[in-house]
Chain A
Amino acid sequence: MADRADLRIASVSRGEKITIVVNGRACSAFQGETVHAALLAAGYRVLRNTTKTGQPRGIFCGMGICYDCLVTIDGIPNQRACMTLVRDRMEIRINE
C-alpha cells in the first residue's frame, strides 16, 4: 500500500465516521461512501487478480458494468465494490 495523498475532498460534508476492516486491518470511512471509494481513499487500489493470468485489477468503470472491482464483503464473494455502500464494521477482503 503506497503512501498516498489524502483523496477525500475537504469541502464535502460527510456522514458519520465509521470503521471498515480491510484484510483484517481497520480503516476509517464515512457513511454514504461506496466501498470502492473508501478503499481508494485508504490507499488500496488493487482489488483482485484475474483468474487466467493473475493480472491486478481495480476500479475501472465505477458504475457496476465492468465487474473488475469484485471484492468479498462480509464473507460474500464477488460483490461489486462500486455498487455497495460502506457499513460500520464491514469486513472486506481484497486481492486474494
Chain B
Amino acid sequence: MNRRHSVIIIGSGLAGLAAADLLCRHGLDVLIIDDNVHTGGQLLRKQPNTVSVRRRFEPDRLKHRGFQLAERLATRKVRFLKGTQVLGIYPDNTLLLAQPPGDVGEHQADILILATGARERYLPFKGWTLPGVMSTGAAQILMKSSGILPGANTLIGGNGPLMFVLAAEILANRGAVQAVLDQSSLSTKLRFFNAGPAVWPKLFEGAICLLRMAAARVPVKQRVRIVEARGSEGLETVVAARVDAHGRIVQGTEQIWAADTLAVGYGFAPNIELAQQAGCAVAHAADKGGWYVDVSPTMATSVTHIYAAGETTGIAGAGKSFVEGRIAAWDILHRQGRIDRKRYAERIRPLMHQWRQQVRYGRFLNRLCRLAPDCYTDIPDETMICRCEEITLGDIRKQLNNGFVTMNSLKKSTRCGMGYCQGRTCGPILADIISAVTKQLPAAAGCPSARSPVKPVCLRTLAKMPSESDHNHED
C-alpha cells in the first residue's frame, strides 16, 4: 500500500474528521489512523455495519454533525487505518505504526495533525479497582458501541456533567439508575449560566437529561463523595459521604449503597503523549484539564509541519474539537497554496469567533470538574494509585517525604507510570497529589516524559519490522 501522504491525521474523532473532510474536499491525499476498530472517537462510537442503536431524539447537535461527517468521508477517497497504533513520530514526519494483525510499518506525510483526544480523570477511593467500578465513559461506550447496559441498576458518582448524560442514556435504554452522587455543589453548577453562548445547547441537553431523571425518580445527591468500594471478587457495596466546601469528608455522614455497578467520572485530561514524544511543547492549565499541547491560533505546534487539534489542545468538548479541526485544515490549505489569502481570511474569521466561545465554555467545564487539593488528604494510604504497577498512596507519600516531588522523580522512585497504561490513568492523579502536598502549581512538578513506544507493543510485533528500514532514532 501507499506509505506516503500529504497529510496524516492521528485520531478519527470530531477534530480529525472535521479536518479530513475539508482537506479531502480540496483534493489533498489524506490518511487517518485510529487505535479503535471504528471511527468517530469517543463521542460517536459509531459502528457502521452491525450494531446500530435506534436513534431516539438526539439532542446532541454535534453528534448528529459528527455522524454526517463520518458518513461523508466513508464515500470519499480517504484512507483509514483502523485498529492501528502510532508507536512514535520520527524526523520528517515518519510514523512507526503497529497494524493488525501484529505488523509494524512506517508511513510518512508532509504534514501531521495530532487529534488524539482525551481520556477520563479519576479521584481514587479505596476499592476503586474492583470489577464493577468503571468510568462513566466506559458505561456509555458499552451502550453506544455494543448495546449493552453497564449494569442492572447503575450507581453513578463523581463530578461533572457526564454523570447526568450517562444517567439519561441508561434510562433511555430502559436500564435503571440507582442514584447520581455528585461531589460538587449546586452553586458551582449555576455558574454555567455565565459560560457564554456556547453553553446554551448544552443547557438544553442538560435540561432533557434532568427531565428524564426526574420522570424516573432517580435520586440526585449534591456534595456527596464516593469513599469506598467494597466486595470480594467484584463490587458489592459503595460507601459515600457528604463533603464540605473543600471536598473534605464530613465524618459520620457515611451512607452505604448496595451496588454491583458504579460508574465514576471526574472530568477529562488531554492525550498528549504522542505530541510530547514528537517534541511538541506542552503547557499546564487547570481550566484546560491539565497538561495540553500548546498551539498557535491556527493550531500549529512548536514542531514544524505538526498540528494539533481537539481535546488534545485543551478540554472543551466536541464543539471546540470540530472548530479546531477546521482551523488546522484551512491553515494547511492556505500554506499549500490551495486557497488564496482572501478566502482563507474569510473562512478563518468566523471560526476564530466560534473558537473563542468554545474555549470559554471549556473553562467553565473544567472548573466544574475541579477537585480541591484538600480532598486528597482523606484518601487512606492503602488506596491503589498506580493501578498497573499496584502502587499505593502510602508508597507515594513516603517518596514525597523523601523529597521526590517532581513527576519524573516520583515515577522513578515509585514505579508509578511504568506499567501498561504508561501513566495515563495515574498521571493526572499524581500531578494533583504532588500539588496538594507541595502547595505549588502542578506545572512546577513537570510533565512526565513520553518516549516511543507511546503504546505498549509486543516484541513479536516489533520482530516483524521490515529489514530495509533504517531506524537511527534517539529515544
- A-side interface residues toward B, CB under 8 Å? 2, 4-5, 7-16, 30-34, 36-38, 40-41, 45-47, 50, 52-53, 55-68, 70, 78, 82-85
- Is A64 in contact with B131, judged by CB distance below 8 angstroms? no
Tell whether A41 pairs with B424 under 8 Å between CB atoms, given A9-B175, A57-B131: no
Tell whether A63 pairs with B152 under 8 Å between CB atoms, given A32-B146, A56-B131, A83-B37: no
- Is A11 in contact with B174, judged by CB distance below 8 angstroms? yes
Q: What range describes how many residues of B lie at the interface?
A: 35 or more
- Is B152 in contact with A9, judged by CB distance below 8 angstroms? no
A-contact 0/1 string along B392-435, CB 8 Å cutoff: 00000000000000000000000000011100110000000000
Partner of B135 from the list A7, A10, A57, A60 (CB cut-off 8 Å) is: A60
A-contact 0/1 string along B48-70, CB 8 Å cutoff: 01111110000000000000000
Residue among B35, B37, B131, B135 with max Cβ neighbours from chain A (10 Å): B131
Residues of B within 8 A of A13 (CB): 51-52, 54
- Is A30 in contact with B51, judged by CB distance below 8 angstroms? yes
Distance in angstroms between the alpha carbons of A5 and B234 in the assembled complex: 16
- Is B234 in contact with A65, judged by CB distance below 8 angstroms? no
- Is A61 in contact with B173, judged by CB distance below 8 angstroms? no
- Is A46 in contact with B139, judged by CB distance below 8 angstroms? no
- Is A31 in contact with B390, judged by CB distance below 8 angstroms? no
- Is B134 in contact with A62, judged by CB distance below 8 angstroms? yes
Residue among A31, A55, A62 with max Cβ neighbours from chain B (10 Å): A62
- Shortest CB-to-CB span from A20 to chain B, Å, is 13
- Shortest CB-to-CB span from A13 to chain B, Å, is 6
Residues of B within 8 A of A15 (CB): 49-51
Besides the known contacts A33-B51, A62-B142, 8 further A-B residue pairs in the complex with CB atoms under 8 A apart: A9-B174, A56-B131, A61-B137, A62-B134, A62-B141, A65-B425, A83-B35, A84-B37
Distance in angstroms between the alpha carbons of A61 and B35 in the assembled complex: 15
Partner of B138 from the list A45, A61, A67 (CB cut-off 8 Å) is: A61
Distance in angstroms between the alpha carbons of A31 and B419 in the assembled complex: 32
Residues of A within 8 A of B197 (CB): none
Residues of A within 8 A of B348 (CB): none
- Shortest CB-to-CB span from A60 to chain B, Å, is 6
- Shortest CB-to-CB span from B36 to chain A, Å, is 7
Nearest residue (CB) in B for A49 is B233
- Is A10 in contact with B50, judged by CB distance below 8 angstroms? no
Residues of B within 8 A of A46 (CB): 131, 233-234
Distance in angstroms between the alpha carbons of A34 and B45 in the assembled complex: 12
Residue B201 at the chain A interface, CB threshold 8 Å: no
**A-contacting residues, B135-174, CB 8 Å:** 135, 137-143, 145-152, 173-174
- Is B54 in contact with A11, judged by CB distance below 8 angstroms? yes
**A-contacting residues, B171-223, CB 8 Å:** 173-175
Tell whether A66 pairs with B139 under 8 Å between CB atoms, given A7-B152, A13-B54, A83-B37: no
**A-contacting residues, B29-86, CB 8 Å:** 35-37, 42, 47, 49-54, 83
Distance in angstroms between the alpha carbons of A32 and B142 in the assembled complex: 12
Residue B119 at the chain A interface, CB threshold 8 Å: yes
Partner of A66 from the list B42, B175, B233, B387 (CB cut-off 8 Å) is: B387
Distance in angstroms between the alpha carbons of A28 and B42 in the assembled complex: 27
